[in-house]
Amino acid sequence: MSDESVDLDAEQYEKHREAGEILAQVREEAAERVEVGESHLDVAEWTEERIRELGGEPAFPVNISIDEEAAHASPSADDETTFGEEMVNLDIGVHIDGWLADTAVTVDLSGNPDLAEVPERALDAALELVEAGVETGTIGAQIEDVIEDAGFKPVVNLTGHGLARWEQHTPPNIPNRAVSQSVTLDVGDVVAVEPFATDGSGKVGEGNKVEIYGLDREGSVRNNDARAALDQITEEFRTLPFAARWLDVDRPEMALRRLERQNLVHSYPVLKEDEGNLVSQKEHTVIVTEDGCEITTQR
């Protein structure tokens, strides 16, 4: 990797790489645990604990999205849901001292292998284009072409994204379709490329279920549980997304409602395909180089 235009020092890039190495292993191990009859909560908690065993921390709650769900689905503390004959998307993140890696994979239990596999082919084609100087719209057009050639649609209102310290989503956005306005990738950019495919409309909207939250700002809180929750959020999770089930208070949902009312935290509702159709995804984190990219989440 060239030293030109690189804002992060070598130690920080090594932390990105370490996070990616842990994540590549955990993604494969977690995917093997997704079977009909297995508990969503058991898989999520096992995965999060496995990240810690390997020396990282979860960058966000494990997302387990089923069928028409595209993102932000994570089990609650008392969730008894088990996997059925469904399309399952696992989206997992790891950080080392705030430096992130982000990855996702589809595990198909639904009998729709073509849809399940097409995001991986789109991702492979997109990563062939990633290098310093390439337009993000060019990458999006490649993703769109691969998915549409397979007879499906990209999810156009979800994108890949940059990664920064303690920030899961930063510029630049990496679209999943051709766009008229885009930006140029630079040497040293750390980005997650994340194709989503569907046999539905190609758009997602917010559902009613919420289990993931993020900090907006610190502030004064009178309620004891809400204050304890806010202290834990600011100390442990900072600006990264967190799960309600991670909070060490008696009634986390009530504490979070209080914090939301004071605009101290925001929620991430589950995103669902508009027509209720299936969604699949694949994601890698890469470091952009002069003549290509380094995939940090690939074994």
Q: Which residues belong to the active site?
A: 91, 102, 161, 169, 194, 283
95 is an annotated ligand-binding site residue: no
Q: Is 161 annotated as a binding residue?
A: yes
Reported for 42-50, long-range contacts at CB under 8 A and 24+ positions apart, including other chains, are 44/74, 44/75, 47/90, 47/92, 50/26
CA 276 to mean position of chain CA atoms: 21
Q: Is 85 annotated as a binding residue?
A: no
Q: Is 283 annotated as a binding residue?
A: yes
- Nearest CA-CA partner of 252 in 270, 234, 231, 229: 229
Query: How far apart are alpha carbons 193 and 173 in whole angstroms?
Result: 9
Determine whether the annotation assigns residue 169 to a binding site: yes
Residue 217 near residue 266 (C-beta atoms within 8 A) = no
- Cα(158)–Cα(195) distance, integer angstroms: 8
In 3D space, the residue among 156, 188, 216, 158 whose CA is nearest the CA of residue 288 turns out to be 188
Q: Spell out the residues 6+ positions from residue 256 whose beta carbon is closer than 8 angstroms to its own.
A: 213, 229, 244, 247, 265, 267
The annotation places the binding site at: 72, 91, 102, 161, 169, 194, 283
Indicate the annotated binding residues for substrate. 72, 169
Q: Specify binding-site residues for a divalent metal cation.
A: 91, 102, 161, 194, 283
